[in-house]
Amino acid sequence: MGKLWLVARQEYWGRVRQRSFLVGTLSILAIIAVIMGITAIIVIGGRDDRPLGYVDRAGLFAAQPGPAADGPELRAFADEAVAREALAAGVIQAFYVLPEDYLSRREVALFYGKDKPGEGVRGAFDDALRGSLAQRTLAASALAGVQQRLIEGTQVTLRSLDGRRQIDPSSIVDALLPFLAGFLFIMATISSSGYLLQALTAEKENRTAEVMITTLTPLQLVGGKSLGLMAVSLTQLAIWVAVALAAIAVGGRYFPELSGLHVSPGLIGVILLFFLPAYALIAGLMTAIGAIMPDQQQSQQIAGLLNMMFFVPYFLAAVLFANPNGPLAVALTLFPTTAFTAISVRWGMTTIPTWQLAASWIILVVSAAFSVVFAAQIFRMGMLTYGQRLDARSIRAALGGRGS
Amino acid sequence: MPIPTVQLSGLCKRFGAVEAVSDVSFDVYPGEIFGLLGPNGAGKTTTIRMMLDIFRPDRGEVRLFGKKLDAAAKNRIGYMPEERGLYRDLKLEPTLVYLATLKGMSESAARVQLADWLKRLDLYEHRQKKTQDLSRGMQQKAQLIATLLHAPDLIVVDEPFANLDPVNTRVALEILEEQRAAGKAIIMSTHLMYQVEAMCNRIALIDKGRTVLYGEVDRIKRDFATHAILVEGQGDFTGLPGVLDVRQENSHWRLSLLPGAEPQTVFRALAGRDGVKIDRFELAEPSLDDIFVAVVQRPGGQAGPAAAADTQPLGQVPVGSSNRAS
């Protein structure tokens, strides 16, 4: 096994076996489980399956409407008094009264006991009423399917001119998915680069750096650590995604929007293209910080500021959602530290021009290359400077090739 | 003459305005312990780092095992730097196995060899402890194992006896002697001059970035010998031909000689005297410690009568005895 892979394996298992990894991974899962549990309790516990009554003085319902797919049974009452008795007895959860002049006044009355019926219950009655009205109005129509279309209402699908993407009302979750996917991947990037920073400063603090440098090339040492620690983050991410998919499968029973969730190939391609250079960029910067700063505490202060540079598009998400093609959005897309996150925020809201994607990727790759070269230049000298910060003169000397 | 394991010639290294090493040259051969000496800040560590390709020299050449250092050659080096440690939060055994595999050893072979080393250095019972739970002396022994486990051909140790008690110092000395006997080239940097005198075949003394002394230890001591004789015994030691001054120092007499006087002349004169019993008669050689102090305190830091070893290239070290240390 090559030295690079030996280092990667050591870092991976060393980190995965640590209690902090288990705690970190499981705590996120625990939070998801708690949120899901609370949601389920609210949805299931707050659900009232008792029938919904109605008094049809206007004679709109030609026949007793069947139960809605996801709603309560609708039960007709001859008059309001009987319905009131049923409500008082708890047989029904509420009842509507359609007055005789409904068609002219368009007003209905809703009677309920202590709790007002939920939106889903009221929506079920609205659908039934709309269906009856459509049936009554278009009973003689020869246009097949018009009745159904009238009941369903309008459904607008937006398509970009180049055909690369479309948005319809059912894909609101799809629109948010890139945002969430980008967030997850940048979290993985940030956390693994944070691990890398810890690992490098630990070499310095443990006084193992000098032996490692005489055994390994900087590429083997930093590259091996980067790969191993990225694998740690991806393992964590895979666990979270697997649990999230399970949660979606379960949640889809209660939230139909979740069941139709799909990830576009374009999004996957963009993530694959931008993820590695973004990681190389931040890993290089973290390596440089680890080399320059004397200990973990000081390194992490600087690293925290650096991480903010990657999250700027999330802080400005509202602005980017409102104007996903504005100058700010374009600038953030082209700036290397914000490119990946800006694209993930904009992806669900607009069609990002191809030139912007290409320019952004090239700038990111070039910046990542500079970052890695810069880190490699000062790495050796920085790692051997124990207990003190590498000063500007030493950095200049290292960059001039004199220190390494 | 075998090919030198280490060949350094004319190494120079500058960090900004500071010239850390300005001209260092020496060779180290298989089967010898070579002492690399010098005061703090003299350039020893920078020299070692250039030798091991941590720093690239601005000028000069480094050859290890007869060629420029490559990845395969790195596996043949065992290095114990002055600033050293082990991963504090990892267990001892897996840490040492990991370090050995990085040096090209298979994991299974490393485990077998490691068990022997741990037993020899009384660490076997502690192999599953985290490094941070070991005493400093134990950590020092563990670092010695990390340096030697992969059976390197070149061993570079910087202050190898720091933190070791006398018993473990003796064990470490034995181990280094064994390595020398096995034909390994050993470079030892230390401030313990008596250890250097006891162990090293040859030395290089670096001061202000330059090699100011280089050669065999015995030859250097002879060349730095003051023009005097130490005599131990009974009788009258005054009035001897060629003797300028006679002083008693503890159990022996120190006879300072006139310029040009030969010790053999004095010996013959003493042997011819009645009532004189001689237990010891020797040239007054300074200790290596004295030589070290004398050389590094000399104005300009240049060498005295350095024993330019008769077989070694030594461009910058003056040869001869006209500039004796005092």
pLDDT tens digits for range A280-309? 888 888 888 888 887 777 888 888 888 888
Kindly tell me if the per-residue pLDDT of A392 is higher than 80: no
A384 interaction partners in chain B (CB closer than 8 Å): 49, 54, 83
Mutate to test the interface with A, among B15, B51, B89 (most CBs of A within 10 A): B15
Chain A residues touching residue B146 (CB < 8 angstroms): 211
**C-alpha A88 chain-centroid distance:** 46
Q: Coil, strand, or helix at residue B55?
A: coil
Determine the pLDDT at residue A172. 60
Asked whether the predicted pLDDT for residue B313 surpasses 50, the reply is no
**According to the model, what pLDDT value does residue A7 have?**
92
A118-156 burial, b at 16+ Cβ within 10 Å, e below that, comes to beebbebbebbbebbbbbeebeeeeeeeebeebbeeeee
pLDDT band of residue A145 (cuts 50, 70, 90) is low
Q: Pick B236 or B7 by higher pLDDT.
A: B7
pLDDT band at B111 (very low <50, low <70, confident <90, very high): very high
Interface with B, mutate which of A211, A377, A391 (most B CBs under 10 A): A211
Choose between A364 and A172: higher pLDDT: A364
Cα dist from A114 to A92, A111, A117, A187, whole Å:
12, 10, 9, 46
User: At residue A140, does pLDDT exceed 60?
Assistant: no
Instruction: Using the predicted structure, report yes or no on whether residue B145 has a pLDDT greater than 70.
Output: yes
d(CA A294, nearest CA chain B) in Å: 14
| pLDDT for the residue numbered A163 | 64
With both helix axes pointing from N to C terminus, report the angle between A327-334 and A336-347 in degrees, rounded to the nearest 10: 130
Token pair, residue A24, equals: 């970190």
pLDDT tens for each residue of B156-172:
999 888 878 888 888 99
Measured between alpha carbons, how far is residue A276 from residues A59, A193, A339 in Å? Answer: 66, 12, 12
Pairwise CA distance, residues B74 & B78, whole Å: 8
Residue type for A219, please?
Answer: L
Chain B residues within 8 angstroms (CB to CB) of chain A: 14-16, 49, 52-56, 58, 71, 74, 77, 79-81, 83-88, 90, 98-99, 101-103, 146
Q: Does the pLDDT of residue B310 top 50, yes or no?
A: no
C-alpha of B302 from chain center: 19
CA proximity to A197, closest of A257, A135, A287: A287
Looking at residue B125, the DSSP 8-state letter turns out to be G
Residues of A in contact with B85 (CB under 8 A): 206-208
**How far is the alpha carbon of A226 from chain B, nearest alpha carbon, in Å?**
17
Least Cα distance to A343 among A206, A212, A185 occurs for A185
Contact flag B55-A207 (C-beta cutoff 8 Å) = no
Q: Minimal Cα distance from B157: which residue of A?
A: A211
Return d(Cα A90, Cα A112) in angstroms, integer.
Answer: 10
Q: Comparing A50-54, A104-108, A220-224, B321-325, which segment has the lowest mean pLDDT? A: B321-325
Query: Which pLDDT belongs to residue B312?
Result: 39
- The yes-or-no verdict on residue B149 having pLDDT over 60 is yes
pLDDT value, residue B227: 77
Q: What is the pLDDT of residue B159?
A: 87
Residues of chain B in contact with residue A386, where contact means CB-CB under 8 angstroms, are 83
User: Which residues in chain B touch residue A392, judged by CB atoms under 8 angstroms apart?
Assistant: none
Listed residue (B70, B7, B49) closest to A213, CA to CA? B49
* Interface touch A403/B53, C-beta < 8 Å: no
Beta bridge partners of residue A385, listed in sequence order: none
Asked if residue B309 has pLDDT above 60, the reply is: no
pLDDT at position B321: 30
Residues of B in contact with A381 (CB under 8 A): 55
Q: Residue A357 has what pLDDT?
A: 93
Nearest alpha carbon to residue A321 among A178, A157, A160: A178
Mean pLDDT of B201-226: 87
Please state the φ and ψ torsions of residue A162, each to the nearest 5 degrees.
-85, 0
A33-73 pLDDT, tens digit each: 787 778 777 766 667 778 889 998 888 886 666 655 667 88
Distance CA A129, CA A135 (A): 10
Query: What contacts A202, CB < 8 A, 6 or more positions away?
Result: A296, B87
B87: nearest CB among A208, A210, A217: A208
> DSSP states of A35-56 as a string?
HHHHHHHHHHHT---S-EEEEE
Dihedral (CA of B174, B179, B181, B185) sign: negative
Which residues, in sequence order, are bridge partners of residue A167? A158
Alpha helices in B20-91 (DSSP H): 44-51, 71-74
Whether residues B146 and A402 touch (CB distance < 8 A) is answered with: no
Q: pLDDT at position B32, please?
A: 95
Binned at pLDDT 50, 70 and 90, residue A348 comes out as confident
Check residue B97 and give its pLDDT.
96
Report the complex ipTM.
0.75
Write down the pLDDT at residue A8: 92
Query: Do A206 and B85 count as a contact with CB atoms less than 8 A apart?
Result: yes
Contacts of A202 in chain B (CB under 8 A): 87
Handedness of CA A132, A136, A142, A143 (dihedral sign): negative
Query: In the prediction, which pLDDT does A286 show?
Result: 86
pLDDT at site B307: 38
How does residue A355 score in pLDDT terms, banded at 50, 70 and 90?
Answer: very high
How far is CA B298 from its chain centroid? 21
Highest mean pLDDT among A297-306, A332-341, B287-296: A332-341
A384 with B16: Cβ contact below 8 A: no
Residues 6+ apart with CB under 8 A from A220: A2, A3, A4, A7
- In whole angstroms, give the CA distance from residue A376 to residue A373: 5
Say what the pLDDT of residue B222 is: 80
> What sign does the CA torsion over A249, A254, A255, A259 have?
positive
Residue B187 has pLDDT above 90, yes or no: yes
Q: Is the dihedral of CA B211, B212, B214, B218 positive or negative?
A: negative
> What's the mean pLDDT in A135-158?
66
Q: How many CA atoms lie within 13 A of A337 on its CB side?
A: 16
Return the pLDDT at A167: 64
Residue A174: what pLDDT?
Answer: 63
Mean pLDDT for A210-233 is 86
- Disruptive mutation site among A214, A377, A384, A391 for chain B (greatest number of B CBs within 10 Å): A214
Cα A188 to Cα A213, A241, A375, B176: the distances in Å are: 28, 12, 21, 48
Query: Higher pLDDT residue, B183 or A210?
Result: B183
User: Do the Cβ atoms of B11 and B25 come closer than 8 Å?
Assistant: yes
Please tell me the predicted confidence (pLDDT) of residue B64: 95
Band the pLDDT of A207: cuts 50, 70, 90.
confident
Residue A362's CB: how many other CB atoms inside 10 A?
A: 12
Contact in structure between A93 and A117 (CB atoms under 8 Å): yes
Residue among B284, B270, B210, B193 nearest B235 (CA): B270
Q: What is the pLDDT of residues B31-71, one digit of tens each?
A: 999 999 988 888 898 999 999 988 889 999 999 999 998 88
Task: Give A94's strand partners.
Answer: A52, A112
What does the pLDDT read at residue B56? 86
In sequence order, the β-bridge partners of residue B248 are: B253
**So what's the pLDDT on residue B322?**
29
CB contact under 8 A, B71 and A217: yes
What's the pLDDT band for A401 if we cut at 50, 70, 90? Answer: low
Each residue of A366-379: pLDDT tens digit? 998 888 888 877 77
> pLDDT tens digits for B258-279?
878 888 889 999 888 888 899 9
CB pairs under 8 A between A and B: 69
Check pLDDT > 60 for residue A325.
Answer: yes
Chain B residue whose CA is closest to A404: B55
Cβ pair A6:B102 closer than 8 A? yes
Q: Residue B59's closest chain A neighbor by CA?
A: A402
Q: List b or e across A52-86, with b for residues whose CB sees 16 or more CB atoms inside 10 angstroms.
A: bbbbbebebbeeebeebeebbbbbebeeeeebbeb
By C-alpha distance, the chain B residue nearest A201 is: B87
- pLDDT-above-90 percentage for chain A: 13
Q: Report the mean per-residue pLDDT for chain B.
A: 85
**What stretches of B124-168 adopt beta strand conformation (E)?**
154-158
- Taking an 8 Å cut-off on Cβ atoms, the answer to whether B54 and A380 are in contact is yes
| pLDDT (0 to 100) of residue A400 | 60
Residue A111 phi/psi, 5-degree rounding, is: -115, 130
Instruction: Measure the CA–CA gap between A100 and B168, rounded to whole angstroms.
Output: 106
- Is the CB of A394 less than 8 angstroms away from the CB of B15? yes
- Quick check: B98 and A202 CB within 8 A? no
Confidence at residue A257, expressed as pLDDT on a 0 to 100 scale: 60
Q: Is A16 exposed, middle or buried (0-12, 13-18, 19+ CB in 10 A)?
A: middle
